[in-house]
Amino acid sequence: MCFTPRMSLLFWAALLSAQTPHRTPQMRPVIRGRHYAVTSMKPEATLVAERILRAGGNAFDAIVAGQAVLAQADAASNGVGSDAVILIYDARANKVISLNAEGTAPKLATIEWYKEHNKGELPDSDGLLAGTVPGVVDAWYTLLDRWGTMTFAQVLAPAIEIAEHGFPLSERLAAAINGSQKLKKYASSQKVYYPGGKVWKAGEIFTNPELARTLKRLVEAEQAAASKGRHAALLAARDRFYKGDIAREMARFSEENGGLFRYEDFASYHVELETPVSLDYRGYQVYKNPSASQGPSELFALSLLEGYDLKAMGQNSAAYIHTGVEAIKLAMADREKYLGDMDFIKIPYAGLLSRDYAAERRKLIDPDHASLDLRMGTAEKYMTGVRPIQRPTDVNYAGDSRDDGDTSYIAVVDSHRNMITFTPSLHSGFGTGVVMGDLGFIFNCRGDYYSLTPGHANALAPGKRPRSTLQGTLVMRDGRPFMITGSPGGDDQCMRTMQTFLNVAEFGMNIQQAIEAPRWSTRSFPLSYFPHSMYRGEMSVEERIPVEVREALIAKGHKLKVVGPWSQSMNGGIVVDAANGVLSAGADPRCDAYALAW
């Protein structure tokens, strides 16, 4: 028998379908191991993290090494100048910890300054005014100092190697560099990214000797202080960045180029170790970063969805998608009212996550009609001794917000079952676009997330962290590690991780199937990016969602958009099998993500 190309495709689809419990073909296999697993948005970062684990390092050593490489291999989306949120399961302490590495606003950045000097508008993800203080270097230090076993010299060696000697560009990164209008505006960026007017092709070798020198300076500081012990040596490297000559160079470049950053902004910066916020969802303990993150919005939505029989609805049925979209709208309305930097505001989590509040909010979900309005709740009613919270909204029904946030992701589980989900970001492609002098890296541009409305939960203030879209998910079950997952995607991140989690917890999918399953999204809430536009009733689905489901959603009043069949996720995740300890890692075929395990 002679196979035509179409017959061959059908044959392989049938074969794959027969091998999976949901008869769903997989674009990629689950990567399984007994000892450790890594997944990230770039194969180079995954490979380096795996090498550190193979060399005897633990998850904390591996994730620092992996993210330092990810900062270059995925340079449009994250870097040394990134902010980040991190969730950690510390196996020795049997405890989940939040590490908040969000950047802070410069002390000169005030609502009044922007009204006087910038027409009352936040910067459009371009230029130093859009930046916040980088957080990942302090995150590196904290991970290594508190939990790691290796030195900066060891974990930064691969990043220094590829910065100095280069790495082959992927199609995505070559296209991102060539297409960036921001990078082309600034002389310091042109020097790094377009030497001699270079136009890049995939496979060509990209080097960043300036970044190599900066990373070497951290190692030099560590080695100079080595005689004082490991802690002092690690701290010396960290302090050279935030309090030493690197900080002074960043401050000088900022002041000379119209930025608001000054030396004290770097010298006073520190990451925060926090108690995460969590929800018990049908026996799964789902953890999120509590402060300056949209992550808890996923918990708000899950608390609503727990009141439905999602299995009976069926995965990606019209009823299931409609209910999920409506739950997210309510969760994001509460994000608008309640979430922000906990150093500046109080968040009534006891009320927001109470069963009684969920029951009240659930009544607002009409099974037959899509909602169009922003409906914020009164969670504080379900707490004793808490006064009513009155905060203004900042929503633009006529404007047009960009939604092209760029973020990356890496996750590691080691042989001790330490688990880390690490979401580093420059926010929008190449962040501010400005390489900081001769240092070889760019700041994140998270400064366009603030509100300029006084009294808003996310109102701009000096030293305040913006309420970021960055988030990840860490799940425990019966007190044991179960799952970590995360995704780039701006405001869509909570929807992506929630769908991945529910695909596993409700529908029994393996992690790869859960990642690859068709997706939905909505923008029917105030978006995080200035000018905080809301698209009433809008939602979208990947083209793989069946036509009859789409028609049913339209009949319910959703303003439906159909997008590419593989366009609404960039997800990674790792699941731990409680029965035999096997690790299953997945990576999204929608992007360059890769997973490894052993």
The full DSSP string for 192-245 is HHSGGG----TT-EE--HHHHHHHHHHHHHHHHTGGG-HHHHHHHHHHHHHTSH
Q: Is the pLDDT of residue 303 over 60?
A: yes
Mean per-residue pLDDT of the chain: 94
Q: Which domain holds residue 172?
A: 31-110+133-274+407-438+469-489+570-597
Q: How confident is the model at residue 399 (pLDDT cuts 50, 70, 90)?
A: low
Q: What is the pLDDT of residue 71?
A: 98
Decide: 433 and 180 in contact? Cβ < 8 Å: yes
Q: Is the pLDDT of residue 400 over 80?
A: no
For residue 148, tell me if it sits in a domain: yes
Q: What is the pLDDT of residue 288?
A: 98
Q: What is the pLDDT of residue 450?
A: 96
Type of residue numbered 552 = A
Q: Is the pLDDT of residue 295 over 50?
A: yes
Q: What is the pLDDT of residue 530?
A: 86
Q: Which residue has the higher pLDDT, 124 or 193?
A: 193
Element (H, E) at 190: helix 187-193
Question: What mean pLDDT comes out for the span 344-371?
Answer: 98
Q: How confident is the model at residue 15 (pLDDT cuts 50, 70, 90)?
A: very low
Q: How confident is the model at residue 13 (pLDDT cuts 50, 70, 90)?
A: very low
Q: What is the pLDDT of residue 404?
A: 57
Using CA atoms, how far apart are residues 471 and 494, in angstroms rounded to an integer? 7
Three state DSSP letters for 95-146:
EEEEEEECCCCCCCCCHHHHHHHCCCCCCCCCCHHHCCCCCHHHHHHHHHHH
Percent of the chain clearing pLDDT 70 (strictly above)? 95
Q: Is the pLDDT of residue 340 over 80?
A: yes
**Residues contacting residue 344 through CB under 8 Å, at least 6 positions apart:** 461, 464
Q: Is the pLDDT of residue 10 over 50?
A: no
Using CA atoms, how far apart are residues 490 and 165, in angstroms rounded to an integer? 33
Look at the block and give the residue holding tokens 């010298």.
267
Q: What is the pLDDT of residue 263?
A: 98
Question: What mean pLDDT comes out for the span 524-537?
Answer: 94
For residue 552, tell me if it sits in a domain: no
Q: Is the pLDDT of residue 254 over 50?
A: yes
Percent of the chain clearing pLDDT 90 (strictly above)? 92
Which tens digits make up the pLDDT trace of 427-484? Answer: 989 999 999 999 999 999 999 999 999 999 999 999 999 999 999 999 999 999 999 9
Query: 182: alpha, beta or left, given left = phi > 0 and alpha = psi -120 to 50?
Result: alpha
Q: Is the pLDDT of residue 182 over 90?
A: yes
For residue 504, tell me if it sits in a domain: no
Using CA atoms, how far apart are residues 497 and 485, in angstroms rounded to an integer? 6
What pTM did the predictor assign? 0.95
Q: Is the pLDDT of residue 9 over 50?
A: no
For residue 198, tell me if it sits in a domain: yes
Q: Is the pLDDT of residue 125 over 70?
A: yes
Element (H, E) at 177: helix 171-179
Question: What mean pLDDT comes out for the span 291-311?
Answer: 98
Q: How confident is the model at residue 105 (pLDDT cuts 50, 70, 90)?
A: very high
Q: How confident is the model at residue 5 (pLDDT cuts 50, 70, 90)?
A: very low
Q: Is the pLDDT of residue 2 over 70?
A: no
Q: How confident is the model at residue 17 (pLDDT cuts 50, 70, 90)?
A: very low
Q: What is the pLDDT of residue 511?
A: 98
Q: What is the pLDDT of residue 193?
A: 98
Which tens digits make up the pLDDT trace of 265-279? Answer: 999 999 999 999 999
For residue 48, tell me if it sits in a domain: yes
For residue 352, tell me if it sits in a domain: no
Look at the block and give the residue holding tokens 């290594």.
144
Instruction: Enter the tokens of residue 283.
Output: 């026996």
Q: Is the pLDDT of residue 89 over 50?
A: yes
For residue 346, tell me if it sits in a domain: no
Instruction: Enter the tokens of residue 593.
Output: 């993500």
Decide: 330 and 377 in contact? Cβ < 8 Å: yes
Q: How confident is the model at residue 124 (pLDDT cuts 50, 70, 90)?
A: confident
User: Which of 187, 210, 181 has the alpha carbon at shortest distance from 257?
Assistant: 187
Q: Is the pLDDT of residue 251 over 60?
A: yes
Q: How confident is the model at residue 24 (pLDDT cuts 50, 70, 90)?
A: low
Q: Is the pLDDT of residue 236 over 60?
A: yes
Q: Is the pLDDT of residue 233 over 70?
A: yes
Report how many domains make up the chain.
1
Using CA atoms, how far apart are residues 369 and 372, in angstroms rounded to an integer? 9
Cα dihedral sign for 180, 182, 185, 190? negative
